[in-house]
Structure 1
């Protein structure tokens, strides 16, 4: 079932956004799920699937909504699921597994990140802990294989006037505004990338900003801070040419144009799901006293 969602989009990207509502009966099964599907089970894809399957047997209509969500992500849509009891980690993991196996972003990272603005946060903390606006980016763009699907489950998201609107930018909307030469340059693996602040002091990884998937679609791995740090690093394996740097600057300017971004006001109980290789995401600044808590997790994408 679809439902209204506060959306601001000068570019008309609502065609790329699917909004679905989970059955309200889901809340009645939190206690059962948390007893039968515990933290030690979360990393096991077989247990994820079993918990979701039994939950779907108990909640009429859940299987249909989750199938619609999974299909929409495969069809190049951003998805918002509404009515998720996001305070329950068991429920978040079980629902997320409908898209694919829930996996950590890399082996040394937890399966689920709890993100809350930290009043003492500075540039050396995780970006999710900051209140400042976040420019459009790919999650974990510097790792050898960035996570396929990003999911953000909102336990609490302040009030409508407290900031923290999510922004979505589809790579096709960016590429159509670029010169073909820039698109080609950005596909060459000539860009040193460093996952700051966590990997500060390590050698950057050479990446491309754009690539083509097996089915010919354009994919993206981009985070401005990571690329700036990689290019500036004395440990970079090579320095990109002036042509490559200029192409990157034009890409960054295009990504930041408001006309390329869709702003979505997500509320408590919403889960945002995006293909991490097709959408860049960010958010607006969070007001000083706003209370915001979300759970971030990743899945592979079911075929």
Structure 2
């Protein structure tokens, strides 16, 4: 039986016409177990193990091959590369790193057009105060909930890597931090039944989107974001009787994502270059302060397929 909570009434799953997938909706409720840990984590109330960049200041000026080798080695070993350079890379060097990793994906959303260079570089500047406009939140002091990049897109349209480079950290004491949560630790906290349910569940009305959980070799990979107060519409491809467990599986997943012991934080410094494998980590962002210094925060981003 699906757990009842103050804001998430139980809606029995519906079987599509022609014995297709069952479908339903999920809305987080006031009693759900991930809400308090999420508030602490994204509100800067939880201590985080810090991800530090390997100091390689000489790689700023050296030929690109040396930097590419360093990034490759770190990605291969842990699905994450962090390199502290003495200065940010030029746009030419930055896009060359993207080309080494794969193919940089164009930023075509009209809402972000003022922040785009060379079609593929997105300038993440914290220029706006807190806003409910989702399109502006990456450029505001809002927190960003844990997610995988482009989780609602077909697998071929999801980036493999997110490349971030710091030009200005903003307020070092109160600035927003990028949060990383390893998928392997999330999967370890989930029951086998929950993993099975999530491997048969996907976002509804999104053609080609992968299931929320899938296996890649010996590890679990997730395509999912925390929808916060919005409704998640899902479809379930499995025995109809098991579809009633989707809500509980999503709550268990969210609780595992926000378990504080596995979250790590990036305290940005000028010249810090980070590459995140989108199949190894969930990522998000803590709230930033509204101080003038905090609003000088500036990262550059590439999404690489």
Q: Same fold (TM over 0.5)?
A: yes
* Secondary structure, aligned partner of 1:282: strand
Q: Which residue of 2 aligns with 1:260?
A: 262
Alignment partner of 1:209 is 2:221: no
5 Å-filtered alignment, 1:164-243, equals: 164-192=176-204, 203-205=205-207, 207-213=210-216, 215-225=217-227, 228-231=230-233, 241-243=243-245
Corresponding pairs, count:
241
Provide structure 2 residue ranges, at least 5 long, that are not aligned to the other structure: 1-46, 114-118
Alignment partner of 1:123 is 2:133: yes
5 Å-filtered alignment, 1:74-93, equals: 74-83=76-85, 85-86=87-88, 88-93=90-95
Q: Which residue of 2 aligns with 1:148?
A: 160
Distance, in Å, in 1 between the alignment partners of 2:123 and 2:60 is: 25
5 Å-filtered alignment, 1:27-176, equals: 59=62, 62-83=64-85, 85-86=87-88, 88-104=90-106, 110-119=119-128, 121-145=131-155, 146-176=158-188
Distance, in Å, in 2 between the alignment partners of 1:124 and 1:137 is: 14
Distance, in Å, in 1 between the alignment partners of 2:161 and 2:229 is: 21
**Contact residue 123 and residue 301 of structure 2 kept, 8 A:** yes
Alignment partner of 1:294 is 2:299: yes
**Contact residue 191 and residue 208 of structure 1 kept, 8 A:** yes
C-alpha deviation, 1:87, in angstroms: 6.8
**Contact residue 107 and residue 121 of structure 2 kept, 8 A:** no
Q: Which residue of 2 aligns with 1:51?
A: none
Deviation per CA, 1:36-73, whole angstroms, max 9, x where unpaired? xxxxxxxxxxxxxxxxxxxxxxx26x533421211321
**Contact residue 190 and residue 244 of structure 1 kept, 8 A:** no
* Secondary structure, aligned partner of 1:101: coil
**Contact residue 139 and residue 147 of structure 1 kept, 8 A:** yes
Distance, in Å, in 2 between the alignment partners of 1:20 and 1:178 is: 36
Q: Which residue of 2 aligns with 1:19?
A: 54
**Contact residue 9 and residue 263 of structure 1 kept, 8 A:** yes
C-alpha deviation, 1:126, in angstroms: 3.9
**Contact residue 79 and residue 280 of structure 2 kept, 8 A:** no
**Contact residue 141 and residue 289 of structure 2 kept, 8 A:** yes
Distance, in Å, in 1 between the alignment partners of 2:60 and 2:245 is: 56
**Contact residue 160 and residue 278 of structure 2 kept, 8 A:** yes
Distance, in Å, in 1 between the alignment partners of 2:148 and 2:53 is: 20
**Contact residue 204 and residue 237 of structure 1 kept, 8 A:** no
Structure-1-length-normalised TM-score:
0.69
- When residues 105 and 247 of structure 1 are mapped into structure 2, their CA distance, relative to the original with a 3 A threshold, is farther
**Contact residue 18 and residue 78 of structure 1 kept, 8 A:** no
**Contact residue 166 and residue 281 of structure 1 kept, 8 A:** yes
**Contact residue 210 and residue 221 of structure 1 kept, 8 A:** yes
Question: Please, which of 239, 243, 246 is the counterpart of residue 244 of structure 1?
Answer: 246
Q: Which residue of 2 aligns with 1:37?
A: none
What is the root-mean-square deviation in Å for CA atoms of aligned residues? 3.1
Q: Which residue of 1 aligns with 2:12?
A: none
Q: Which residue of 1 aligns with 2:272?
A: 270
Provide structure 1 residue ranges, at least 5 long, that are not aligned to the other structure: 1-7, 27-58, 193-202
